[in-house]
Structure 1
Amino acid sequence: MKNAVGGHDGRVGDLAAAGCSSNQEIKTTDDRTIVTDGKPKVDSDTGLVSYKDAHTGRTEQINRDKITNMSELDN
Structure 2
Amino acid sequence: MKKWVMAVSTLAIMAGLAGCSSNYVMATKDGNMILTQGKPKLDKDTGLISYQDEQGNKRQISGDHISQLIER
Bigger RCO of structures 1 and 2 (CA < 8 A, at least 6 apart): 1
Aligned length: 53
What residue is the counterpart of 2:5 in the other structure? none
Q: TM-score, normalised by structure 2?
A: 0.69
What residue is the counterpart of 1:41 in the other structure? 41
Task: List 4+ stretches of structure 1 deviating above 4 A.
Answer: none
Residue 46 of structure 2 aligns to a residue whose secondary structure is: coil
Higher strand fraction (1 or 2):
2
Q: Which has the larger radius of gyration?
A: 2
**Any gaps of 5 or more consecutive residues in structure 2?**
1-19
* 1:51 matches 2:51: yes
User: Shift in Å at residue 52 of structure 1?
Assistant: 0.2
**Sequence identity, in percent?**
49
Q: TM-score, normalised by structure 1?
A: 0.66
- Cα deviations by residue, 1:22-41 (Å, 9 ceiling, x for unpaired): 00000001111001001111
Residue 37 of structure 2 aligns to a residue whose secondary structure is: coil
Q: Which amino acid aligns with 2:27?
A: K
RMSD in angstroms over aligned alpha carbons? 1.4
Residue 65 of structure 1 aligns to a residue whose secondary structure is: helix
What residue is the counterpart of 2:22 in the other structure? 22
Q: Which amino acid aligns with 2:57?
A: R
